[in-house]
């Protein structure tokens, strides 16, 4: 079983739709959960960061972590064409330096 | 807003040559990292660096790779003898504590 699994998409939705992106993971010891956005040939840009379980909201973005199901989600409300990018879930142990990334979901918002 | 800067944005080299990729982390950050992303694949951890020494490294980070903080602002990744399979985007990242990591725009390394 892969450590972090993420549907690669592509996912295409109309402007204004609610987008749901998800990842599952196998290591129950992960404590830090992150979502990064990556535009083509650019570096990962941190969007959301959660420590342990629960929800976090920042503007149009909501991150959810369900540790009992080993499942994390990112919701984007009122999606915009500028949200078109690859979204990477990522996680980390509290005792380690390295971030483990999902493969990324390519999202396209149609005007 | 402070950011991690990387130079060059694109490096082309011949197989067997040495390359040095450069990074300027965010100024008050203490932890530094290198990751790479082969085209179409996941971002993979290479190495982390704290207090002038390597704190963690992956299996990818073999004897061909080295890192250095030559002065108070730069952080470098050296590949001694490049192979074709080293062609990838290389990302530098930094963090204030061992938690949230901020990434640079990357250096695209092309080995011919």
Residue-wise pLDDT tens digits, A35-81: 999 998 889 999 999 988 889 999 999 999 999 999 999 999 999 99
At the fourth CATH level, the homologous superfamily of domain A4-110 is Immunoglobulins (2.60.40.10)
The pLDDT of residue A61:
97
B71 touches chain A (CB under 8 A): no
Which residues lie below 8 Å from residue B56, measured CB to CB, with a gap of 6+? A96, A97, A98, B45, B47, B48
**B58 is a domain residue:** yes
Tell me how far apart the alpha carbons of residues B67 and B10 are, in angstroms, rounded to a whole number: 19
Q: Of B33, B10, B49, B28, nearest to A101 (Cα)?
A: B33
Alpha helices in chain A (DSSP H): none
Positive or negative: CA dihedral A6, A12, A16, A18: negative
Mean pLDDT, 10 residues at a time, chain B of 112 residues:
91 97 94 95 95 94 94 93 96 91 96 96
What pLDDT is stored for residue A8 in this prediction?
84
Establish if B100 touches chain A: CB-CB under 8 angstroms: yes
Question: Domain for residue B109, yes or no?
Answer: no
Give the pLDDT confidence score for residue A1 in this predicted structure. Answer: 66
Give the pLDDT confidence score for residue B97 in this predicted structure: 87
Q: What pLDDT score does B98 carry?
A: 78
pLDDT-derived band at A15 (thresholds 50, 70, 90) equals very high
Range of the structural domain that residue B26 is part of = 5-96
Q: What percent of chain A has pLDDT over 70?
A: 99
Q: Is residue B104 a part of any domain in this protein?
A: no
The verdict on residue B39 lying in a domain is: yes
Chosen from B11, B36, B101 to mutate, greatest number of chain A CBs within 10 A:
B101
What CATH number has the domain bearing residue B80? 2.60.40.10
Average pLDDT on A5-16 reads 92
B18 found inside a domain = yes
Residue B105 lies in a domain: no
Nearest to A97 among B33, B43, B106 (CB): B33
Query: Is B43–A101 a contact, with Cβ atoms under 8 angstroms apart?
Result: yes
Neighbour-count burial of B50, counting CB atoms closer than 10 A to its CB (0-12 exposed, 13-18 middle, 19+ buried): middle
B42 falls within a domain: yes
Select from B44, B99, B104 the Cβ nearest to the Cβ of A32.
B99
Q: Is residue B74 part of a domain?
A: yes
- For position B1, what pLDDT does the model report? 73
How close A49 comes to chain B (CA, Å)?
A: 8
Domain boundaries, chain A: 4-110
Number of domains in chain B: 1
């Amino acid at each position: 079983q892969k450590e972090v699994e993420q549907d690669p998409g592509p996912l295409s939705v109309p402007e204004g739709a609610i987008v749901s992106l998800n990842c599952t993971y196998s290591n129950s010891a992960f404590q830090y959960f992150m979502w990064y956005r990556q535009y083509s040939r650019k570096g990962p840009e941190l969007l959301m960061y959660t420590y342990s379980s629960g929800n976090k909201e920042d503007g149009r973005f909501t991150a959810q972590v369900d540790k009992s199901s080993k499942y994390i989600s990112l919701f984007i409300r009122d999606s915009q064409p500028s949200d078109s990018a690859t979204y990477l879930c990522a996680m980390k142990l509290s005792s380690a330096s390295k971030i483990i990334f999902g493969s990324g979901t390519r999202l396209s918002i149609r005007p | 807003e402070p950011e991690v800067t990387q130079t060059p944005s694109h490096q082309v080299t011949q197989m067997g040559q040495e390359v040095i990729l450069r990074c300027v982390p965010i100024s008050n950050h203490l932890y530094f990292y290198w990751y790479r992303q082969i085209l179409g694949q996941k971002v993979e951890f290479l190495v982390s660096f704290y207090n002038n020494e390597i704190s963690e490294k992956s299996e990818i980070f073999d004897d061909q790779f080295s890192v250095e903080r030559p002065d108070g602002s730069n952080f470098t990744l050296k590949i001694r003898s490049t192979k074709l399979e080293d062609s990838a985007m290389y990302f530098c990242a930094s963090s204030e504590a061992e938690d949230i990591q901020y990434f640079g725009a990357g250096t695209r390394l092309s080995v011919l």
